[in-house]
Structure 1
Amino acid sequence: MNQQVTKFIKKHQLLNPGSTVLVGVSGGPDSMALLHFLAQARETWNLKLIVLSADHQLRGEESIADQRYIKHMCEQWNIQFIGAALNVPKYKQAHKLGTQAAARAMRYQFFQEQMEAENADYLALGHHGDDQAETMLMALLRTASSSSFAGIPLKRPFATGAIIRPFLCLTKAEIEAYCGEHGIEPRIDPSNQETVYTRNFIRKELLPVIREKNPNIHTTLQQLSHTLKEDEQFLRREAEKVWEKTVTLNDEEQSAEMDIDVFCGHPPALQRRVYHLLLDYLYGRLPKDLSYIHEEQFFALLESEKSNVQLDFPAQLKLEKTYRKLQFSFLQASQADPSFHHTLEVPGRVELPDGSLVTAEYRIQTDGAGPHQYVLGMEQVGLPLHIRTRKPGDRMSWKGLKGRKKLKDLFIDEKISPKERDNWPVVTDNNGEILWLPGLKKGEPENKVKPSSYIQITYEKSDVQEENHAKRH
């Protein structure tokens, strides 16, 4: 197995010698086998290994024991260990997510924070070939879009480096055999046996039946995933070229316009992808009730001989065909002025128009800050603080950036939809220096004086704001 995985790593250039590799470990056979493999390979590859373990607080003492086990094995194998307790039940309730979605969101947030803290090159995860097969079968059950069949990527950019999955060339059975061969006794999560979850149903009921017809289904689907990914990357690049030729954006009116004749002159495969690019841009986060039915309606609208036709899409997006032009706009885009400006006292709190809450308090010392917190030295800024919406010409600077960047350009780079930009909160000091765009960028005060005490600002999203401003992961 070692040779098989090493060959797979080299073929797909998943690792570079001398790298810092964080390893996500749950205590199960997949992640424990991956950790053992990397521990054996670290001298050859000159790797610095750090284990990340997240307790989702869903199984009480069992999950605590899992983390103790991982820490014990790290001590035996001389590997640095970083553990975290994540309050998934609270996060799930606050953000109205399912258990699996909430756990994943918090876990990847933890991974990102540690990647940045360690300036790591890679985050290695233990997904294997059976996981790939399950993911692609799930896509077959849930979507009609070919782009969704690319499956689990071997490697993708993440935080300061990339996520890698060296075990996608293996089956679950091969990993379990590896554990037995090396005396690894992994922890087993009982929820993995419950067929109430779609993935577990596919794993326990559907995949064994398919494997009777094709014992190497994991290899077949892995190759299909690789081929589809290459095809999708090429088509995406071509679609972006079509986008530039056919779509005109109006940030001020939060709308877009399409030239129907130019658009329809391109192949259907590119038309579909431009359609999805446009919706991604306008919505920021796609509504749950958006489906392939709306795609069919969109193309039927293009083919309609009527000169003036309208369609209503979810979340108050309206499509209006006027002769050979197609306009996309939100019904409430210009009905109200979304701007605001509040003074943020320390200590103090401000409730924003969308229901989100910003609080500020003094701290004697700082233990760091999460993604929804910002910590600055009290002597580094002019008080009081302010929280407002953007203004023309706004610029800010942050760690690693030379000079200052326009907020408008930052929003475009981060693919923040026009609908969100005008009410995104901007935290400044009394001199007008932009300190923080919550959930997006943390600036650095120009004054570098060493602080004697700190101010901690916390940003709590409302349910509505969380839905509209949620970032991609």
Structure 2
Amino acid sequence: MEKCVFKFINQHQLIKKGATVLVGVSGGADSIALLHFLHSNRNRWEINVVALSVDHQLRGEESLLDLEFVRDICNKWGIPFVSDSLDVKAYKERNRLGTEVAARRLRYQFFSEQMEAFQADYLALGHHGDDQIETMLMSLTRSASSTAFSGIPVKREFSTGWIIRPFLCITKFDIENYCKEINIQPRIDETNFDTTYTRNYFRKYILPLIKEKNSNIHTTIQHLNETLHEDETFLQEEASEMVKSLVEFDRKSNTATFQIQTFKMRPRALQRRALHLILNYLYNDLPSDLSYIHEEEFFSLLYSKKANNRIDFPSQLRVEKSYEKIIFLFSDSLNEEDSTFHQLLTIPGEVTLPDGSVVSAQMNRNKEQNRVTYGFYSSQVALPLHIRTRRPGDRMSWTGLNGSKKIKDIFIDEKIPIDKRNRWPILVDNNGEILWLIGLKKGNPKITQMEGQWIQLQYTAAN
């Protein structure tokens, strides 16, 4: 066993010389064996070993006896020992968490505090090859994404250093034999035999069947996990670059937007990961009911032939397709009152629109007209003039049009994105006649009498 672990540690560069290594010890075979292994070989790496143990207060006297067992072992072997008693039940109720999640959070909080206190380089944990198999199988049964299909990492950053798991290369059987060789009788947690827990069910019923076909399955699974991790790391880096170059984020409004065609040009594997990076950016915490179904809906929307469509994600996140764009936005931030406006336009004078653009009016004889200007005689309209956003039933007419047309249909014809339609400025006279759908269509005043002063309007877009 020792040769296998030494090779594994060297292969993954898990321990550097002169390091301080904290060991999470529960009193069970895995963690006691790891503590003994590192302590026995401390001179090999010139390391300082410290044992950490916690009482979760979940098994009454038994869990307290576990902690005392570890304390006695450490006194016997001359290993520094730090412990704490954690009120998991109170923390669980206060934060509305499951027991396992609450226990894990408190435990790792304690570990982090001790890492800082000792300025430690490593936190060593006793997960082994069988744990890895169980984790991968559990992930397979509940995940529909290769991104989520992952096992226990050999090494990951944590607090002041790294979490390391030197025993992922060996099995529970190897560890139990090691304990017998060093004449240690570890503590037994009876809850490990309760098959109502998913992991215990896999351990008791599934793992033995797999090992009948391949007794070395732990090595195979560990290799699979490492190669998947390497592949996923590369794809995530590529997806991150894709998001940086294609997606526009607005922190103020908490929205994300991208052009559909450029997004679709990237490989589907990157599109999928880019979607999840966008969601991670927008959500403070990913909703528990966010699933692969939403991913499928997103791709249906992305590749839909409909010019305008939308889908709803959890927690009021809307994903809208508007012609050549996709926009992610939260519906609770869409306040119709904030997007509408109505102001008088004095002559001479100007109105600053919510987006910072300006419509100005003056009296002169400059009749030059283009897309951002509009002019008419004062006798042709009912003053004062108004600038407002659209209202239900709005219609306008112009030269060459037989009758009138709905503003809604004009927006569709001009391919105006859905999110801009409710904020689009419209010039009307005091009778409500639409004179100018600013920047899009110019109407003809119903009164043809060309008398009075010439009114010249100018639209200046925001910088």
* 1:36 aligns to 2:36 (yes or no): yes
| Alpha-carbon distance, 1:194 to partner | 0.3
Contact 2:55-2:85 within 8 A present in 1 as well: yes
Residue deviations 1:295-354, cap 9 Å, x none?
000000001111111111101111111101111111223659xxxxxxxxxxxxxxxxxx
**Secondary structure, aligned partner of 1:286:** coil
2:288 equivalent in structure 1? 288
Deviation at 1:149, TM superposition (A): 2.5
Q: Deviations over 1:49-95 (max 9, x none)?
A: 11110111000010001000101100111111110101111111122
- 1:402-454 CA distance string (max 9 Å, x none): xxxxxxxxxxxxxxxxxxxxxxxxxxxxxxxxxxxxxxxxxxxxxxxxxxxxx
Matched, 1:273 2:245: no
- For residues 159-181 of structure 1, give each alpha carbon's deviation from its aligned partner in whole angstroms, at most 9, with x where no partner exists: 11000000000000000000001
User: CA offset at residue 148 of structure 1?
Assistant: 2.2
Question: Alpha-carbon deviations, 1:217-240, whole Å to 9, x = none?
Answer: 111100100110110011111111
Distance change >3 Å, CA 42–CA 97, structure 1 → 2: same
1:150 Cα offset (Å): 2.7
Secondary structure of residue in 1 paired with 2:332: coil
Which residue does 1:169 correspond to in 2? Answer: 169
Unmatched 5+ stretches in structure 2: 337-463
Structure with more contact order per residue of length (Cα contacts < 8 Å, sep ≥ 6): 1
Who is 2:187 aligned against?
Answer: 187
- Tell me the residue number matched to 1:446: none
TM-score by length of 1: 0.70
TM-score, normalised relative to structure 2: 0.71
Report matched runs for 1:205-354 at 5 Å.
Answer: 205-333=205-333
Taking a change above 3 Å as real, the CA distance of residues 113 and 333 of structure 1, as seen in their structure-2 partners, is farther
For 1:420-435, list aligned pairs within 5 A: none
3-state SS of paired residue (2:50): strand
Determine if contact 2:129/2:170 at 8 Å carries over to the other structure: yes
Mapped partners of 1:15, 1:170: distance in 2: 18
Shift of 1:145: 1.0
Give yes or no for contact 1:27–1:70 (8 Å, CA) kept in 2. Answer: yes
Matched, 1:121 2:117: no
Aligned-pair distance for 1:118?
1.3
Paired residue for 1:137? 137
Q: Distance in 2 between matches of 1:191 and 1:284?
A: 35
Please list, as runs of the form range in 1=range in 2, the aligned pairs for 1:49-198 lying within 5 A after superposition: 49-198=49-198
Instruction: Tell me the distance in 2 between the aligned counterparts of 1:214 and 1:172.
Output: 15
Q: Is residue 169–residue 219 contact of structure 2 (8 Å, CA) maintained in 1? A: yes
SS in 2 for 1:284: coil
Contact 1:150 1:226 in 2 (8 A): no
How many Å separate the matches in 2 of 1:169 and 1:335?
A: 56
Alpha-carbon separation, structure 1, partners of 2:63 and 2:333:
47
Q: Deviations over 1:222-272 (max 9, x none)?
A: 010011011001111111111112111000111111211111000001111
Match of 2:10 in 1: 10
Match of 2:374 in 1: none
Tell me, in whole angstroms, the C-alpha distance in 2 between the residues paired with 1:136 and 1:214. Answer: 16
Contact 1:115 1:123 in 2 (8 A): yes
Secondary structure, aligned partner of 1:167: helix
Partner SS, residue 41 of structure 2:
helix
- The amino acid of 1:309's aligned partner reads N
* Aligned equivalents of 1:68, 1:256: Cα separation in 2: 54
Q: What is the deviation of 1:27?
A: 0.4
- 2:215 partner amino acid: P
* Equivalent-residue separation in structure 2 for 1:119 and 1:92 (angstroms): 29
Is the CA contact 1:253–1:334 (under 8 Å) kept in the aligned structure 2? no
- TM-align CA RMSD: 1.1
State the alpha-carbon separation in 2 of the partners of residues 199 and 259 from structure 1: 44
Alpha-carbon distance in structure 1 between the residues aligned to 2:45 and 2:190: 35
Tell me, in whole angstroms, the C-alpha distance in 2 between the residues paired with 1:86 and 1:193. 23
The CA deviation string for residues 2-23 of structure 1, in whole angstroms up to 9 with x for no partner, is 1211111011100001000010
Query: Would the aligned equivalents of 2:139 and 2:150 in 1 still touch at CA under 8 Å?
Result: no
Of the two, which has the highest radius of gyration? Answer: 2
| 1:311 maps to amino acid | I
